[in-house]
Amino acid sequence: AMSKSAVKISSDLLSNPLCEQDPSFLEMVMAFDTAMKRMDSFNQEKVNQIQKTVIEPLKKFSSFFPSLNMAVKRREQTLQDYKRLQSKVEKYEEKERTGPVLAKLHQ
């Protein structure tokens, strides 16, 4: 998205009437526009390579082993439960140590 924005900025600069007034400024803006377009094509090439070499194989891998996705989901759920219960324990530890509070803390 950043390289697309840079290309848009460079093309907007190139279409600015100020460029027509100063030839050296026009030359700099044209060089900037060329560099931004090259950078955008380079970034797009890298995104395509990442898609081919990382994302597509991972999708294929996860389809072969659906139990891994289930294990990850169970782990996340257990982690959320643990954090919720840990906050309850901390809350009871902060309270005054009475019989009911100690019983709940023990639970």
Render pLDDT for 11-45 as a digit per residue (tens, 0 to 9). 888 888 887 788 888 888 899 999 999 999 999 99
**pLDDT of the residue at 78:** 95
**pLDDT of the residue at 47:** 92
Give φ, ψ of 22 to 5 degrees.
-120, 110
For 95, how many CA atoms within 13 A lie in the half-sphere containing its CB? 15
- In this predicted structure, the answer to whether residue 106 has a pLDDT above a threshold of 80 is no
**pLDDT of the residue at 101:** 74
Distance in angstroms (rounded) separating the CA atoms of residues 19 and 100: 79
Distance in angstroms (rounded) separating the CA atoms of residues 50 and 56: 9
For 40-99, what is each residue's pLDDT tens digit? 999 999 999 999 999 888 888 777 777 877 888 899 999 999 999 899 888 878 877 778
Judge contact between 6 and 39, C-beta under 8 A.
yes
